[in-house]
Amino acid sequence: MTPFSLQQYLSLEQREHGLDPALARLIFGISDACAMIGSKVRSGALAGVLGLAGTENVQGEDQKKLDVISNDIFVEAVARTASVSGMVSEEVDHVIRVPDELPVGPYLICFDPLDGSSNIDINVSIGSIFSILPAPRITHDVSDADFLQPGRNILAAGYCIYGPQTQLVLTLGRSLVMFTRDPATGTFRLTREEVKVSESAKEFAINMSNQRFWEPAVQRYVSELLQGAEGPRAKNYNMRWIAAMVAEVHRILQRGGIFMYPRDSRNPDRPGKLRLMYEAAPMAKIMETAGGAATNGLQPILDIVPQGIHERVAVFLGAKEEVTRVTEYHKAK
């Protein structure tokens, strides 16, 4: 039998689990944005979308043309769902309001429209990440404060990976499911249900070039992994680094492992590289739903109350056993 389409899945969720139609509409709008971004990504140089846009984002990073295009696609597709009161994006310094001529709704959305930007021009996997929060007020006039909610409030989260296949990974809170886009029909179809991440791991992901800047807890944890079967962990570990968080998470969900982006001594005032609201919190929600864990080395990422929409955070996520261990090493210092 042909697997369920995303639309059929969302209808079933409405009928059987009381999913709010406005939330279903929002998720469908996101899937539409992802399909459009995926199409630009696939065309690459043929569509003239590669290279720099000539601008910087709020984090001071050079924006690629595709970063800007993806952001615009997301904003428009989401605004049209009439399901949100506002948006925040990794690529935009301020809160994005819904245009006055369009209705607002009871949700807020946070997104990284194109994650893994350094992979864009070299045709390696990239993705889009999103999370959906309740709107404290249904208004056209949202402010930063409305978004400063801990990840525990996330009602739905997911990502779309643009790799050899375009896949949408989604949680509405109860379980984690994966859809694969059928290139012939453009429909996202349910290809995996009840995704679970294994508790133990034999693979780790970290940018080793930063080793000399890591904190002692991370030095200790990684050095034990590197000692392999002869060391305290008594097994050999493999290492992978794709440099796109979406792709690392996608691998870990299917093959196990731990992903780390620790804080580092080059920027003592900066608590990590990754963004709490656009990257860490949605991925933490996904990991916890799949039975894994996610901390900043000290506490679950989902418990952190953001102080600002572009806040950064250290990230340790994936297999529970490994995340627990590296978190204990931080606490032991």
Residue type, 319: A
State yes or no: residue 265 binds ligand F6P (CB under 6 A).
no
Residue 187 host element (H or E):
none
Contact range with ligand F6P by CB under 6 A, out of 69-77, 114-122, 283-291, 305-313: 114-122
State yes or no: residue 112 binds Mn ion (CB under 5 A).
yes
> In Å, how far from its chain's centre is CA 48?
26
243 binds, among ligand F6P, Mn ion, none (CB under 5 to 8 A by kind): ligand F6P
Closer to Mn ion by Cβ: residue 137 or 270: 270
Two tokens, residue 182: 């059928």
State yes or no: residue 245 binds ligand F6P (CB under 6 A).
yes
Q: What does residue 290 show for φ and ψ, rounded to 5 degrees? A: -85, 5
Closest residue by beta carbon to ligand F6P: 245
State yes or no: residue 311 binds ligand F6P (CB under 6 A).
no
State yes or no: residue 115 binds ligand F6P (CB under 6 A).
yes
State yes or no: residue 292 binds ligand F6P (CB under 6 A).
no
> In Å, how far from its chain's centre is CA 286?
8
State yes or no: residue 115 binds Mn ion (CB under 5 A).
yes
Please say whether the dihedral angle defined by the alpha carbons of residues 182, 186, 188 and 189, taken in this order, is positive or negative: negative
| Closest CB 159 distance from Mn ion, rounded Å | 10
State yes or no: residue 243 binds ligand F6P (CB under 6 A).
yes
State yes or no: residue 284 binds ligand F6P (CB under 6 A).
no
| Closest CB 233 distance from ligand F6P, rounded Å | 24
Full DSSP string of 123-153:
T--EEEEEEEEE-SS-SS---HHHH---GGG
Environment class of 17 (CB within 10 Å of its CB; exposed 0-12, middle 13-18, buried 19+): exposed
Interface residue list for ligand F6P (CB under 6 A): 115-118, 207, 243-245, 274
